[in-house]
Structure 1
Amino acid sequence: MTILDIDQPVAPPPRRKGRRGRATALAGTDRLTLGLMLGIPTLLVLALIWGPALASVALSFTEWDGVGGLSDIRWVGLQNYADIFTTYPRFWPAVQHNLIWLAFLIVLPTAFGLFLAVLLDRKLRFGRLYQSVLYMPVVLSLALTGFIWQLMYNPDQGLINSLIGHAHTDQINWLGNPDLNLYAVLVAAGWKHTGYVMLLYLAGLKAVDPSLKEAAQLDGANGWQTFWQVTFPVLRPINVIVLVITVIEGLRAFDIVYALNRGRNGLELVSVLITDNIIGESSRIGWGSALAVILLVISLGFIVTYLVQVFRKEERS
């Protein structure tokens, strides 16, 4: 090698052309894909949920039979709400039934679902089979659940009257008696709700750190004290989820009562009144929309109040 060869500058390696351009194009494709994956569901939610919800709020201040065009819509202000609270005889019984429905779901099926979850968390023999059997009602639709319990409550050949000996004499009309049908349907709704609550609590119990239970047992705590002072506080997020779901289920209950007797004769619910006024024989879109807004406000009142209290407690702790 000569001196000239050493002093001669070395040429830089050839640059690969197009790498930055390909990276930019790939990033643009990722942005397009991400935009489509987020944008399309967002548009569907806005079009199918928020759009009708806002339209119902606007229509609740109007009078419209839904047959004529938009030019036939007449503005009435708060008149629909005033009439519902003062002159509509079916409204307050329906609200009372919804509150009874909600209280029942919170007290009995929720507590029983938690009890079943605690039992199944102990790794019982055939535990998976028990979970499947108890969760099976959740898979069924409320309409099918109503049909099944309609057969069970049948006065002539129903299972319940046959078991208690009233199938042929002194028949009990569980669904026809307005003093009994609401509680009879609540049993069917609770049968379905228990399995869902059980699954939620079971998932929460699986996430509890076993060392916490062991430490409590070493300190001399019994099973009940360990659950109440160690396990249950850890389940606070699950409690929030269960309460929110229970409130929503209690206030929007519709399918099962509509499948049984179209929400009549003691089974009136606010959701049934909304359906009757919007798609019933006397279509009153504004009136039904006002009922829907009232149900929405009641639901949000329960949920928001509880969530605010829970978040405040977490901030203080």
Structure 2
Amino acid sequence: MTATQQTPVPQAPIEKPLAKNRRVRRLTTKDRVVISLMIGIPTLIEAVLVWFPAIGSIILSFAKWNGVGSFGKIEWIGTTNYANVFGIDPNFWPAVRHNLIWLAFLAFIASPAGIFLAVLLDRELPGSKIMQSIFFLPVMFSLALVGVIWQLIFSPDQGLINGVLGTKIDWFGNPNINLWAALIAASWKHIGYIMVLYLAGLKGVDPSLREAAAIDGATSRQTFFRVVFPAMKPINIVIVVITVIEALRAFDIVFIINKGTNGLQLLATMIYTNSGAAARVGYASALAVILLVIALVPIISYLTQAFKEDKR
């Protein structure tokens, strides 16, 4: 009889046991020094330029002080500054109202306009590069320069707007309309800034997401709101924070127009006025703390909601 030959069964390769005692490279003294400098220097700069002044403003908001020249004459008066802000100052509540209008205008008109332009330019239509440069141009200007430019545009005598409309309206002098004229001027720069941020984010969206949405039969609008917009969540958070900060720290353009008076009162101009010529540093610090709290409310609320959705 002939012995039946059997095909040998292949065996799995034997795995080598992981090395238990791997050598861990220890940090040298030089490494520790370099790491300490890389962490310590930015932290120190942040503390000196941001945290120390912020803490100092909170402390001085409970005091009466006329400035650096009278360093030893700080008088602690408790919450008197806050009581005067909320109860006596006739400019405070109009300034708060104007800041909130400024925030609403940027959040619901200017920022969406910038996002809309970014979506259009992302389609790479003919002339999109030129249009992108035109809309980005105001971003390179300071708000002070923007104020000067729009003063010429809104000039009651030789301004472009009155020339086109054939009117003699004093856009920045009339307290009933100067806030809206200033908002248009500020939005000219804000829209371009948001457009650039959002356009950069759109370039990073995975094209396969849009292709999958198109295969499922989604329209361009459905693709944006249900696919692209959720994927842009990090950029959306940045835009919300920037919009809140830009709205509440608005100062340059208003100060150029009329120094924050005659219907253009803002918290930032009140802080400057009281800490400068008026020499009421404690009172200005109380205003700064109130502005900080107002700024933190929408930012923290949005971030909390965003993090809750991430956990889900």
> TM-score scaled to structure 2, two decimals?
0.89
Tell me the residue number matched to 1:110.
111
How far 1:65 sits from its partner (Å)? 1.1
Alpha-carbon distance in structure 1 between the residues aligned to 2:218 and 2:123:
17
Alpha-carbon distance in structure 1 between the residues aligned to 2:100 and 2:143:
19
Counting only pairs closer than 5 Å after superposition, residues 209-224 of structure 1 correspond to structure 2 as 209-224=206-221
Give the CA RMSD over aligned residues.
1.6
Q: Structure 1: any 5+ residue segments left out of the alignment?
A: 1-22
Tell me the residue number matched to 1:3.
none
Counting only pairs closer than 5 Å after superposition, residues 302-317 of structure 1 correspond to structure 2 as 302-316=298-312
Matched, 1:202 2:203: no
How far 1:41 sits from its partner (Å)? 2.5
Q: Alignment partner for residue 294 of structure 1, among 290, 307, 311?
A: 290
How far 1:68 sits from its partner (Å)? 4.7
Tell me the residue number matched to 2:75.
74
Output one character per residue of 1:223-271: Cα deviation in whole Å (capped at 9) or x when no partner. 1121121111111221111111101111110011001111110110000
How far 1:28 sits from its partner (Å)? 3.1
The one-letter code matched in structure 1 to 2:91 is: R
Alpha-carbon distance in structure 1 between the residues aligned to 2:252 and 2:187:
14
Identity of aligned residues (%): 55
Q: Alignment partner for residue 190 of structure 1, among 180, 187, 192?
A: 187
Q: Which moves more between the two structures, 256-265 or 117-126?
A: 117-126
Q: Structure 2: any 5+ residue segments left out of the alignment?
A: 1-24
Alpha-carbon distance in structure 2 between the residues aligned to 1:47 and 1:261:
32
The one-letter code matched in structure 2 to 1:80 is: N
Output one character per residue of 1:75-125: Cα deviation in whole Å (capped at 9) or x when no partner. 100111011101110000000000000000011111111111111111122
Tell me the residue number matched to 2:96.
95
For the residue of structure 2 that corresponds to 1:179, the secondary structure is coil
Tell me the residue number matched to 2:12.
none
Q: Which moves more between the two structures, 66-75 or 198-207?
A: 66-75
Q: Which moves more between the two structures, 37-46 or 98-107?
A: 37-46
The one-letter code matched in structure 2 to 1:49 is: V
Alpha-carbon distance in structure 2 between the residues aligned to 1:116 and 1:136:
14
Counting only pairs closer than 5 Å after superposition, residues 260-275 of structure 1 correspond to structure 2 as 260-275=257-272
For the residue of structure 2 that corresponds to 1:286, the secondary structure is helix
For the residue of structure 2 that corresponds to 1:69, the secondary structure is helix
> TM-score scaled to structure 1, two decimals?
0.87
Q: Which moves more between the two structures, 206-215 or 260-269?
A: 206-215
Tell me the residue number matched to 1:229.
226
Tell me the residue number matched to 1:176.
173
For the residue of structure 2 that corresponds to 1:40, the secondary structure is helix
The one-letter code matched in structure 1 to 2:261 is: R
